[in-house]
Amino acid sequence: MYKGKKLFELILLIIFFIPVVLFILFIALFLLIPTKGRVFFIQKRIGREGREFALIKFRTLKADVTLPICKDESVLRKVSIPYGSFLRRSGLDELPQIFNIIKGDMNFIGPRPFLRRELLHLNKDEFAQRHTIRPGITGLWQLKRKYDANDMDYIQLDIKYLRQSSLRLDLEILFSTCIYLLKQQGV
C-alpha cells in the first residue's frame, strides 16, 4: 500500500460523511414500510487478515428470502422489495458501508469483501495476499460490474490493485465509480 492511503481514505470520509448519511436517512425512510422497519441487511464478510466482520447494506430483498449466491437480476427482481432492484443496480444499497469504514472494517477503495464460501477456491497464498488490506466499497473488480460467482477475474484484479496501489490508481477508481453511478442515475 502506498504511504498516503490512510490519509486519502480519511479525506474521503470527511468529504462524503454528511452527504452519505443524509442519503442513508432519506433512503431508509422509503424502506421503512416495505422492510417492516428492518431497513438494513447485515452479513458476515471476510476482511483484512481473514477476519470476519458484519457488512452493512440496505435490505433489497424480502426478509424471508434466502438465496444461494445469486447475482441474476431477473431472479432477484422477483423477490425484491419495492425499489430493491433500483438500489442494487445504482449501487445505493452499498451506502451504509460508510459505517464499516468508520468502524475500521473497510476502506472506500480496495478488494471486494466476500462471503467465506465465495473464497473457498483460493489457495493459502492467494487468500493471504488478497486480505493484506481492508476491503473496499469500490475497486477494480467492482467496476467490472460482472457479479458472477463463477467469475475468477477478481483475484487477478485484486492482486493487480495490491501490486500497483497508488494515489493515482485510487483516484482513477474513485472517478470511474462516480461516472458509473451518474450513468446509473441517467445523468
pLDDT tens for each residue of 53-92: 999 999 988 876 665 555 666 667 777 888 888 888 888 9
Angle at which helix 5-31 crosses helix 167-184, to 10 degrees, equals 20
Which DSSP category does 122 fall into?
S
Helix, strand or coil, per DSSP, at residue 110: coil
Residue ranges of alpha helices (H) inside the chain are 5-31, 73-78, 84-90, 98-103, 124-130, 140-144, 153-164, 167-184
pLDDT digits (tens, 9 = 90+) for 96-136: 999 999 999 999 999 989 888 888 888 888 888 889 999 99
Query: Hey, where are the domains in the chain?
Result: 5-184
